[in-house]
Structure 1
């Protein structure tokens, strides 16, 4: 018969030799919360996409600036006539009311042109450039807003993983206590000094804890994968959290007025709404500029030639050139310009209403955040007392049980009360720290 203990020992020994090699292949990354936030801002893929939008806005600025810069172009043309074009007024084929014509020139014609234009006065150029610059500023501000959101998401996931680790530790401690109780119950039952119902109750408590531990382990794996995705590193990279759940001493809850004024000044989403108002102003100016004349200096130099059989080497190449000014005055565009002006004014009115609405919603958001912070803080203080009381109660009943004064049922109930109090305290800490994260997000801080 095969000795199962020897097989298990051999497998564990083999794993012990292989484990250092596995560690060398996949080394874990030690990650603190500030490091996680910094990596996310640097490597997060959605932030990289938003960064490319800033680059695109920079190119839009260059396009708008080109409206005030000179432009030059070179053009060329080659034509082959199967039937030469007609020139009226020449020849002797006229008669009566008919105008004579003649076909002259070469069947192969070529021309090259250099054209230059410089806009001396273009009323659309300045507001177009200003709008492009404001759009670029808006996208940079939006990048800050995205960074704030990503930082808040990283903090929540990191905090959630710390809580899961603490819950796992508490569940393992509870499992050890219940396994010890099961051993004692079985021992007393074997000695005839215990009841079978106590053994069954202890066995049930142990088995009830095992699925919870499995669930928490899976939750920890999912949290790691979410964190790895957010910070933009290799999905196969293993990470180890170096921070722990901790509370700063003498934390003070700021007032609503302070938070509201700070958020109104620093929140990127509110700044974007204010920038949109300025963009609407520039759009109005651009629409009005479509009614104004455009003045440009123009010049052209052209060489051309005609030949028979495309023999341009022996042909003449006369040139022509000119320079002058050009004025384009819009007279009527089918009410298009008036519609654009009205549309731009409507956009501005919408942006004003959006900013006012956002500021009012911010007041509600600040009130909610402060209320959550105060409520979770008070609940956390209460849970500290409950946890300490449950621990003291458990220690007393455990001592009495060891002296044969308390029953197994009392000890089981005390252990359950202690575990529940510890988990409730942990949940209170998590909700308080989550409220702190939400406070930072409301302020516009990373």
Structure 2
């Protein structure tokens, strides 16, 4: 008796623990109502690639700061402590010598090197900001693609569920006729097989939807088990902009093309930096030096300059690397090659941009035409299925006709939703190919930055 009670108590405890575990899992899976704008915003806020691009922008800000500060004054302090041995001049008994020099210097003329460095840093900062926009556009397009795929998978569930419901109703009709002996057993078996296939299709459709939601969660930075309730539907809004207009817009606004143009300008600035190696450099400098037996002062008792000094000077200094065995020339040639490469990359990007816009535009038009065709096919398939049902009920049609009509109806409905999906996806691809801005004013990047 005690053993029975113990087993019963153990079973109750295990059941309670399992209930708590299931409840915890249910609580852990968060539910969220979202539309496509919500998903895009979450992706922009959470994406690691965008955060990495922002870090590159911060680095460009400090590189610009470095270039500008290089043109300003610098303060340098040099100090040394030495132990002295051997015979000293004038029989001076000196064992230690300390020296300190404080100097302030500032470049006056660098042959254009500093100016070119600042120009390159300014251009690099703008290019970095454009790169952030390009990354955002890519993430937006990726999010839209994942969202539209999830919507299509949800629609395919609807199609599969309607197929199951339709075949179940037909199976009831077949069973009713079989019970009164008007149809053969083979009709029942064939309808049952078709129902099983439709149920398998429904299972597959639900799984595809779950996978699509998990992928969307990954893109927008949410836990994979988050239940997303998508508030949008795949629809058809005609696109009325011409191909030429789309192509020209992309040439003028695509961030990767703008960034490529900036890289050409940066390469040309690097040419000026390299060429400055053959030009003279002029610096202004003020310094104070003092040395002696004391760490921070001269020894007034010693008159020999070797042991005691307290001097200052100010003036200009010039250096000119007249001949460096053609090292500067080699750097200039490297910079010119880099400029040529940047120019060719910019041309290639423009050509690829035209191709991407044309491809997306043609895909969009093809999908639009497919929507109209698929919509007509759905209406005809519905009518054909009704006729097949009526003929079968009247005894003048076969069960195979009904099943074939139902299969065609399911295919037509699936094709219609696929066409809507292709249209919306192609529209998102076209927006990305054109460079539709997310949150950047592109006009300020179409001219070279002003010099401060």
Deviates more, 1:156-165 or 1:108-117: 108-117
In 1, the alpha carbon distance for the partners of 2:405 and 2:423 equals 27
1:36 has 2:23 as partner: no
What is the Cα deviation at residue 321 of structure 1?
2.5
Deviates more, 1:413-422 or 1:363-372: 363-372
1:120 has 2:114 as partner: no
Q: 1:393 to 1:86 in 2, by over 3 A?
A: farther
2:443 aligns with none
Deviates more, 1:272-281 or 1:24-33: 24-33
Given that 1:85 and 1:103 are in contact with CA atoms closer than 8 Å, whether structure 2 keeps it comes out as no
Aligned 1:295-310 pairs, distance under 5 A: 295-306=282-293
Query: Which deviations, in whole Å up to 9, do the C-alpha atoms of 1:278-299 show, x marking residues without a partner?
Result: 1121111111111111111112
What is the Cα deviation at residue 266 of structure 1?
0.7
In 2, the alpha carbon distance for the partners of 1:127 and 1:302 equals 34
Q: Which of residues 383, 396, 401 in structure 2 aligns to 1:410?
A: 401
Given that 1:45 and 1:232 are in contact with CA atoms closer than 8 Å, whether structure 2 keeps it comes out as no
In 2, the alpha carbon distance for the partners of 1:441 and 1:15 equals 49
- The unaligned stretches of length 5 or more in structure 1 are 1-13, 92-101
In 1, the alpha carbon distance for the partners of 2:298 and 2:97 equals 12
What is the Cα deviation at residue 141 of structure 1?
0.9
Q: 1:318 to 1:351 in 2, by over 3 A?
A: closer
2:445 aligns with none
In 2, the alpha carbon distance for the partners of 1:85 and 1:121 equals 46
Q: 1:147 to 1:207 in 2, by over 3 A?
A: same
1:8 aligns with none
Q: 1:311 to 1:44 in 2, by over 3 A?
A: closer
1:392 aligns with 383
In 1, the alpha carbon distance for the partners of 2:167 and 2:396 equals 19
1:271 has 2:274 as partner: no
What is the Cα deviation at residue 103 of structure 1?
7.7
2:57 aligns with 54
SS at match of 1:320: strand
What is the Cα deviation at residue 104 of structure 1?
4.5
- The unaligned stretches of length 5 or more in structure 2 are 1-16, 302-307, 439-452
What is the Cα deviation at residue 151 of structure 1?
0.7
Given that 2:80 and 2:99 are in contact with CA atoms closer than 8 Å, whether structure 1 keeps it comes out as yes
1:172 aligns with 161
Q: Which of residues 312, 319, 329 in structure 1 aligns to 2:320?
A: 329
Q: What TM-score do you get using the length of structure 2 for normalisation?
A: 0.83
What is the Cα deviation at residue 270 of structure 1?
0.9
2:69 aligns with 66
Aligned residue pairs, count: 414
In 1, the alpha carbon distance for the partners of 2:92 and 2:135 equals 71
In 2, the alpha carbon distance for the partners of 1:150 and 1:157 equals 11
Q: 1:393 to 1:301 in 2, by over 3 A?
A: same
SS at match of 1:290: helix
Given that 2:53 and 2:132 are in contact with CA atoms closer than 8 Å, whether structure 1 keeps it comes out as yes
In 1, the alpha carbon distance for the partners of 2:248 and 2:61 equals 32
What is the Cα deviation at residue 188 of structure 1?
4.0
SS at match of 1:212: helix
1:45 has 2:36 as partner: no
2:4 aligns with none
2:340 aligns with 349
SS at match of 2:289: strand
In 2, the alpha carbon distance for the partners of 1:233 and 1:113 equals 60
Given that 1:306 and 1:315 are in contact with CA atoms closer than 8 Å, whether structure 2 keeps it comes out as no
Query: Which deviations, in whole Å up to 9, do the C-alpha atoms of 1:255-302 show, x marking residues without a partner?
Result: 221111111011111111111221121111111111111111112223
Q: Which of residues 207, 216, 219 in structure 2 aligns to 1:227?
A: 216
Q: What TM-score do you get using the length of structure 1 for normalisation?
A: 0.84
Q: 1:304 to 1:211 in 2, by over 3 A?
A: farther
1:339 has 2:330 as partner: yes
Aligned 1:226-265 pairs, distance under 5 A: 226-248=215-237, 251-265=238-252
1:3 aligns with none
1:204 aligns with 193
What is the Cα deviation at residue 33 of structure 1?
0.4
In 1, the alpha carbon distance for the partners of 2:299 and 2:210 equals 83
Aligned 1:73-152 pairs, distance under 5 A: 73-81=76-84, 84=85, 90=89, 104-106=93-95, 108-122=96-110, 123-152=112-141
Query: Which deviations, in whole Å up to 9, do the C-alpha atoms of 1:372-407 show, x marking residues without a partner?
Result: 222221121111111111112222333343444433
In 1, the alpha carbon distance for the partners of 2:140 and 2:198 equals 34
In 2, the alpha carbon distance for the partners of 1:260 and 1:424 equals 30
In 2, the alpha carbon distance for the partners of 1:439 and 1:367 equals 9
Query: Which deviations, in whole Å up to 9, do the C-alpha atoms of 1:388-429 show, x marking residues without a partner?
Result: 111122223333434444332222111111101101111111
Given that 1:253 and 1:373 are in contact with CA atoms closer than 8 Å, whether structure 2 keeps it comes out as no
Q: 1:60 to 1:32 in 2, by over 3 A?
A: same
In 1, the alpha carbon distance for the partners of 2:136 and 2:217 equals 16
